[in-house]
Structure 1
Amino acid sequence: MKYSIDYQQLHKGQKRPSDNGDIVGVTFDSESGFALIPNVGDVVNVPEMEGRCGVYGVVKSRLFTYLRSGEEIFCGINIVVEEVDIDHGALIKE
């Protein structure tokens, strides 16, 4: 099975996330091992890099969409990250 992960930012006061295109660009297949993906409630910080938009906040939802093309199965994972005020001191000691 092939997988693709897409992140979308949900800004404060908005009902729908913005679609800024390919933010991280993660693709992998089940034969190559595993990929860690954030769960609902996890804090995510993906800074802007290499011309790609970033996301920051708490994971609000994850949507798994499965498609079949002949014998191959593809899973698209959409992760919505909600913009919230976060107390960084409570997350990590730097």
Structure 2
Amino acid sequence: MVERGRLRYTPAGIEVLDLRLTHASTQHVGTQAQHIELDLQGVAFAEMACKLQYVEAGQTLRLAGFLMPNRRGSRTLKLNITEWIEEPEHGLFQENRS
């Protein structure tokens, strides 16, 4: 689920959107299933920030990206969102990924 902040701009004029993400999944390690739940800070830049600014709080999305430090030198991580994965059965964002 997603909770988003306001769209803002870097000093260079690039769009930035800060988000709070809630993740829940079941991961399988060998024959064991482990349920994972966590909250994570996220950030999106440029075109991705513009797309995600219209997501409603609490909406379920499938996102991809990479982990990065929250600030330079910080050990706290956030997810830099680079992709909103298409899920046509949910009627979510449609993107040509060819």
TM-score by length of 2: 0.27
Q: Which has the higher strand share?
A: 2
Larger RCO (CA under 8 A, 6+ residues apart)? 1
